[in-house]
């Protein structure tokens, strides 16, 4: 069984290239997650599970003391080569992919790109 699927498939799209273009032309709001069950996380008034990619991603998702960002320093840190960029999640990508296309992040956590959808205003 495949871990990933194309959720927004439209039968009128004639090629994989067209499907991918349509997918990245708007902000992706995932509707299905893989729940990380080894951490008790209070998500606030709208309960939802914690996805594994939300742990140690630099954003506090758990209202009960930011438990998803605790002890991140204990995680194994990847040492990237001199010609690689280290993503916030520890993934290494070739440096030429760093900030090359804001609509197509290469890091799984998206930290290599400045997204047009990110709100950079101070709260």
CATH number of the domain that residue 57 is part of: 4.10.400
For 52-69, write each residue's pLDDT tens digit. Answer: 778 888 889 898 888 888
Of residues 105, 93, 100, the one with CA closest to residue 24:
105
**Within a domain: residue 6?**
no
For 13-56, write each residue's pLDDT tens digit. Answer: 778 788 778 777 777 666 666 777 788 888 888 777 888 778 88
- The pLDDT assigned to 48 comes to 79
pTM, rounded to two decimals: 0.42
| 70 and 36 inside one domain | yes
Domain that holds residue 44: 32-75
**Within a domain: residue 123?**
no
| 61 and 46 inside one domain | yes
- The pLDDT assigned to 26 comes to 73
**Within a domain: residue 69?**
yes
**Within a domain: residue 23?**
no
**Within a domain: residue 55?**
yes
d(CA 12, CA 18): 10
| 108 and 81 inside one domain | yes
| 52 and 81 inside one domain | no
User: What CATH number has the domain bearing residue 81?
Assistant: 4.10.400.10
Domain count, the chain: 2
DSSP string, 53-76: GGTTSSS---TTT-GGGTTGGGSP
**Within a domain: residue 3?**
no
| 57 and 82 inside one domain | no
């Amino acid at each position: 069984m495949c871990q990933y699927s194309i959720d927004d498939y439209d039968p009128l799209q004639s090629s994989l290239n067209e499907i991918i273009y349509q997918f990245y032309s708007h902000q992706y709001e995932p509707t299905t997650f893989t729940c990380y069950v080894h951490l008790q996380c209070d998500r606030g008034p709208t309960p939802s599970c914690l996805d594994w990619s939300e742990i140690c991603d630099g954003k506090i998702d758990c209202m009960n003391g930011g438990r998803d960002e605790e002890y991140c320093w204990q995680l194994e840190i990847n040492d990237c080569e001199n010609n690689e960029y280290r993503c916030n999640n520890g993934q290494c990508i070739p440096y030429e992919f760093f900030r090359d296309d804001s609509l197509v992040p290469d890091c799984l956590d998206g930290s290599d790109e400045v997204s047009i959808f990110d709100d950079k205003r101070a709260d």
